[in-house]
Chains A and B, each alone.
With several copies, the nearest count.
Chain A
Amino acid sequence: MDYAATTPVDPRVLEAMKPYFLKKYGNSMSLHAWGREAKEALENSRETVASLMNADQEEVIFLGSGTEGSNMVLKGTAFANRKKGKHIIVSSIEHHCVLESARWLERQGFEITYLPVDKYGLVDLNALENAIKKDTILVSVMHANNEIGTIEPVEEIGKLCREKGIYFYSDAAQSYGKIPVDVEKMNVDLLMVDAHKIYGPKGTGALFIRKGTKIEPLLHGGGHEFGLRSSTVNVASIVGFAKAVEIQKKEMNSDANKQTKFRDRLIKEILKIEDSHLNGHPTKRLPNNAHFWFAYIEGESLITQLDMHGIAASTGSACSSESLEPSHVLLAIGLKPQEAHGSLRLTTGKYTTKKDVDYVLEILPKAVKRLREISPFKGGWE
């Protein structure tokens, strides 16, 4: 139940990749036959990945990870548009790859505004409008949040940015292949997608860059990917990504229905546990994400309890070297630190069965109870 962290590779994907490891291993930049074969596979894959986001083939480049995409967008637009301005707006619940890139830019003299969200994690359009300045060059708001699953009002955000002539970037790592992603409807100029969240291989992603967008490369070198991302092209992984996309294209809708049922059942049953609470929006959320906090217990202990029973899950409570750090997303939606410490994320996937859901519903209440027995706060916070 931790499909949001990463997914296994679909066996059909691995099958598609194999020939590109062993036989068709050419360098896509080489002129000889092996190279041309690699080139053709690359361009076909590009078309597939572009088509599931309604983009032109020439507007999509492949990446070495989702993180690389966000780093490239933040730093690449910042450096390329320095003359226009030094101000960038990012939502406060962006993934670390956006936030840390933003912080790095802050250290280089750029100005960053962190946009607040409401208790469901939704970005407030008025706040965005107020945050925009003359020298704003980029707005970054993710499509769907990786922790609490909230789906942001990207169409409206994009529309506003377009009106103001500001680039709009959306990190769609968690949404692409799970819910519809359409760069036209979303009014985005830049959009990142990730292979290993949809049964493709790790170490591959793609970036949509609308024609005419001013951006610098992050990886300089031999000039691959239209000069925007150098590195010998990882054809096998890209072919694998494209295969995963092809599969999701066919199975996305039926799969989303199935996940939504699981999700809503998890939410309904788990909220029956005393002092348990849902995080994120009740309906504007990813079909496969259920996120909670349980009073009086700590998340790492909880997921380890679950792990003892073979259940994988995730929490927003993470170790730092002097204490546990509650997730920035949970603080941003207004949770108190001690509440955020007791958080649990369950994310289902296409290999999740009804039995798995039943099993979680059997084990989780016991695990919560057990940890509350250990807790000094079993009776309530002091």
Chain B
Amino acid sequence: MKEVFLYPETVVRHFRKPKNMGRMKNPSGIGKVGNLLCGDVLWLYIKVKKDEKGEESIADVKFECFGCVVAIGISSVLTTMVKGKPLEEALKLRKEDILGKTGPLPPIKVHCSVLAVDALHEAIYDYYLRNKTQIPEQLQKEHERIQKTLEKVEERFKKYVELQEKVFGAKKS
């Protein structure tokens, strides 16, 4: 049977054999995004190293994901893209950069790539926070947007579940 993919081949390949998967001991920063109720949770760990010139870069990166194929695959792709990269460069990473590497996603799955980028930026934010580094304005704004989106999604989702419960009388056991 010919292999036909619903998702870009690169994404599927990374889903099949994810790189940099697992928990990291003593990370320099962690980004936790997504929501359990929604079925998308991504935790991204970074280890940051300073070189002689004082430039900070991502020495190691790992991720854990409870989520769909694309979320897992894209997270893996992202880790390979940022490993060894200076933080500043990592901060410039956008979902378009990932999609440029993998090819386009179906519209319904675009948010999975947003999830990965958000996790990365949140990890860096966390690192800055822990190290009491001045947080760049842009990153601060991003952090706020992410937290707000998470809240919003959660709220919307809770409403959906509540509706289901009201309508369908769920919540038994």
Task: List residues of chain A with CB under 8 Å of any chain B CB.
Answer: 31, 33, 36-37, 39-40, 92, 114, 116-119, 127, 296-301, 304, 308, 317, 319-326, 328, 331-335, 337-338, 341, 373-378, 381-382
Contact = CB atoms under 8 A, between A and B. Distances in A.
A331 B153 contact: no
A322 B170 contact: no
Interface string B106-125: 01110100000000000000
Question: Nearest 5 CB-CB pairs, A to B?
Answer: A116-B169, A323-B38, A324-B39, A92-B168, A334-B172
Contacts of B37: 337-338
Given A304-B69, A376-B43, A36 B164 contact: no
B15 A116 contact: no
Given A322-B156, A333-B172, A377-B66, 15 more contacts: A92-B170, A114-B167, A304-B12, A323-B38, A323-B157, A328-B168, A334-B170, A334-B172, A334-B173, A335-B170, A338-B36, A341-B39, A374-B18, A375-B66, A381-B36
B107 A321 contact: yes
Contacts of B23: 376
Contact of A321 (B69, B111, B168): B111
A61 B16 CA distance: 34
- Most A CB contacts (10 A, CB to CB) among B111, B168, B171 go to B168
- Most B CB contacts (10 A, CB to CB) among A297, A322, A335, A375 go to A322
18 contacts: A33-B4, A36-B6, A298-B39, A319-B109, A323-B39, A323-B111, A324-B39, A324-B67, A325-B39, A325-B160, A331-B165, A332-B164, A333-B170, A337-B37, A337-B161, A338-B36, A338-B39, A378-B64
Contacts of B161: 331, 337
A36 B5 contact: yes
Interface string B63-84: 0111111001000000000000
A373 B22 contact: yes
Contacts of B172: 118-119, 333-334
Nearest to B2: A37
A367 to B, nearest CB: 11
A373 B17 CA distance: 12
Contact of A308 (B16, B153, B160): B16
Nearest to A32: B6
B6 A39 contact: yes
Nearest to A300: B68
Interface string B137-168: 00000000000000001001100110011011
B58 interface: no
